[in-house]
Each structure stands twice: as structure tokens, then as C-alpha cells.
Amino acid sequence: MTVILVLLMFGTFIAIDYFRNRNRVPQVAAEAVPRVAAGIPLGAYVEGFHVPENLRYHPGHGWALRERSRLARVGVDEFGAALLGPVDRIEMPKPGHWVRQGQKAWSFYRNGEKCEMVSPVEGEIVEVNEEVVKDPSLLRKDPFGKGWLMAVHVPDEESVQHNFLPASLVKDWIRQCAERLFARQPQLAGPVMADGGRPIESLTAGLPGSSWKELTKEFFLSE
């Protein structure tokens, strides 16, 4: 039921975006996109979460950056990384493996519990970030930079575009995710923000492992 509600919300976002932008002149996309691993891209902050504007976002909290034709670098957005908190281990498929958009692709382990995330794109994995495998803390410290997960050859770029959140609605989506989290776990609403309004290392610190697993399932659409 949760997944259905989220997908309905996603469909509403797309409809709103269509009516909002149908009379606007389309913008030409830039040919060159900076490599994410070189540093955190610029962007806004929504409810304390960094939301770089040059990335595409999947409703399962994965991001994608088109580095060049048919090559995308993917990872976990900051809301997802903060929801995960400190993880003990990351398990990813090997290069050569085919991942499907919206299907489970990699796993995180924390205190004996496991959660999974869906891929934001579809294609063949060409590179895995071995640094984040060796040091999972990079995922939380630098989710848009050193904490990227893998590079994927995406043969049909046009088809995957339809399942990304409309760029104009990403900020509203992150805001609604934060509101849903605090409504789901009211005890988290007060102490999750550190000085300066930024999220603490783990949004779910102190929750039982089973609660962490259920929350990640809900927000990562991996139920």
C-alpha cells in the first residue's frame, strides 16, 4: 500500500509539472557535465538536505548524473544517506551485471539488518566505486562526491527519463519526504538537525534495527 501511495504521489508530481511547463520554451541541455567525483555540485538545501540541481532523482532516493552519452554515474541522495546512517557494509553487483530501473540493485547492512535500494537507471554496470565499498562512511560524508556507487552504461537514455522526478518538483518531493518521516516517527522530528539546520549523521539513530529496516523499505520503494 505504501508503494502504491508513493507512486500515486509521483504521478501527481508529473501531472503538475506538465501543466506548469507546457507553454514554456524548452531549455537546451549542456553537452558537458562536471564529473561528480570531483566535488559536490552546487544546489539548494531543502529541510536541511542538500539537493544538487544538475542531478536527476528517482523516487527511490537514487540519483543519476549523465557524464557523457549513454554513461551515468549513480548514488544515493542525502536524505537516503542520512536515513541509512552509518552502515557496516555495502554490497553491490559487479561490473558487467545488468541493472533494471526501479528494481533492487544493491544492499546496505547495519547492526545485523539488511536493506536494499532500487537502481535509478537501467543498463550495464561498467564501474563500481571500490573506495566506498572499503569505507562505507563516505556514503554519508559525501553522497554526491566520493560516496558515489557505480557507473552504468545506459543504452536507452530516453526511456529512463520518464521515471525520474521532474526537476521543478524535486524540492517539494524532498520536503514531503521529510514530513512523512517525522509523521511516521514523531520522536525524530526534534533532534535530527544539528547546528545550522543540517541533518545529523543518522536520522534513525536510536531506533531499533527492525524500525530502520522498515523505514528504509518504505522510502527506498524496496518493499
Question: Sorting pLDDT into bands at 50, 70 and 90, what band is 202?
Answer: confident
Question: Distance of CA 60 to CAs 22, 27, 56, 131, 160, Å?
Answer: 26, 26, 12, 23, 14
Least confident interval from 3-17, 32-46, 153-167, 173-187 = 3-17
- Classified as helix, coil or strand, 123 is strand
Q: What percent of the chain has pLDDT over 90?
A: 59
Distance of CA 213 to the CA centre of its chain: 17
Per-residue three-class SS string for 70-121 = CEEEEEECHHHHHHHCCCCEEECCCCCCEECECCEEEEEEECCEEEEEEECC
CB 60 within 8 A of CB 173: no
- pLDDT of amino acid 192: 57
- Average the pLDDT over 169-184 and give the result: 90
Cell numbers at 93, concatenated? 553487483
- Residue-range domains of the chain with CATH: 2-23+46-220 (2.40.50.100)
**CA atoms of 18 and 193, how far apart (whole Å):** 34
- pLDDT of amino acid 168: 94
**pLDDT tens digit sequence for 115-147:** 999 999 999 999 999 999 999 999 999 999 999
**CA atoms of 83 and 175, how far apart (whole Å):** 14
Burial string for 59-71 (b: 16+ CB within 10 Å, else e) reads bbbbbbbbbeeeb
The model carries a pTM of 0.79
Q: Does the pLDDT value for residue 16 go beyond 80? A: no
- Average the pLDDT over 31-48 and give the result: 58
